Amino acid sequence: RSSGASTGAAPPTVYCGAGDNPCTAAGLGLAAPGDVALSMGTSDTFMAVSSKATPRLEGHVFASCTAPDEYLALLCYANGAKVREKCKRDFLGARADWKMFGKAISRAPPMNNGLLGLDLQLPEITPTIAKTGRFYVDAENAAVRLGDGEADADATAARAVVEGRFLSMRGRGAALGVDAAGGRVLAA
């Protein structure tokens, strides 16, 4: 007897051979190549449906549990919420909330005037980087130390930590075979 029989609900869909991440993708409705889900949580996660697979040491590629001839690409980053929390606290102050962090991001222009940042509070797993710290470079690839005279350093730092993660997800996802053109993006 199905679990829905006693309640009158339709029986659940069961995907054989799927783990927690493939089932999450199925539950979110990632159904077509190019569909992407981004989770900015304790660890940051990228998962996307792809019509081709390019396995690499960074990330994972699974056979799709919902469609033959499709794949699920997965990336997981160790430096998620702790990095954003530390950035918020260090640049906006101990009493800063997430609304203030969001406003700081909106004060810096998209692409952050060419400034890219990598903030590692823990050794990173995607890609594997043992060194921790804050690393910023400008459009000429020169090292930048935020707080040394930039106008609105808190906005620059906030945007750098978020945009940097999304750019990493995009580039590393493409290396796994994901072409997100025309797909949907779900973000949490």
pLDDT of residue 21: 83
Tokens at residue 27, please?
A: 């539950």
Cα–Cα distance for residue pair 151/123, rounded to 1 Å: 30
User: Residue 15: pLDDT above 80?
Assistant: no
Residue 146, pLDDT above cutoff 90: no
Q: Give CA–CA dist 77/125, Å, rounded.
A: 6
Q: For 178, what's the count of Cα atoms within 13 Å in the CB-facing half-sphere?
A: 30
Question: What pLDDT was estimated at residue 2?
Answer: 47
Task: Write a three-state SS string for 82-135.
Answer: HHHHHHHHHHHCCCCCHHHHHHHHHHCCCCHHHCEEEEECCCEECCEECCCEEE
How many residues comprise the chain?
188
Report whether 33 contacts 51 (CB < 8 A). Answer: yes
Within 10 angstroms of residue 63's Cβ, the number of other Cβ atoms is: 14
Residue 153 has φ and ψ, to the nearest 5°, of: -60, -30
Q: Which residues contact 3 (CB under 8 A, 6 or more apart)?
A: 11, 12
The two beta strands, 133-137 and 116-120, are antiparallel
Query: What's the pLDDT score for residue 1?
Result: 46
Report phi then psi at 137, rounded to 5. -135, 150
Q: Indicate the range of 9-13, 23-27, 104-108, 111-115 predicted with least confidence.
A: 9-13
Higher-scoring residue by pLDDT: 20, 78 = 78
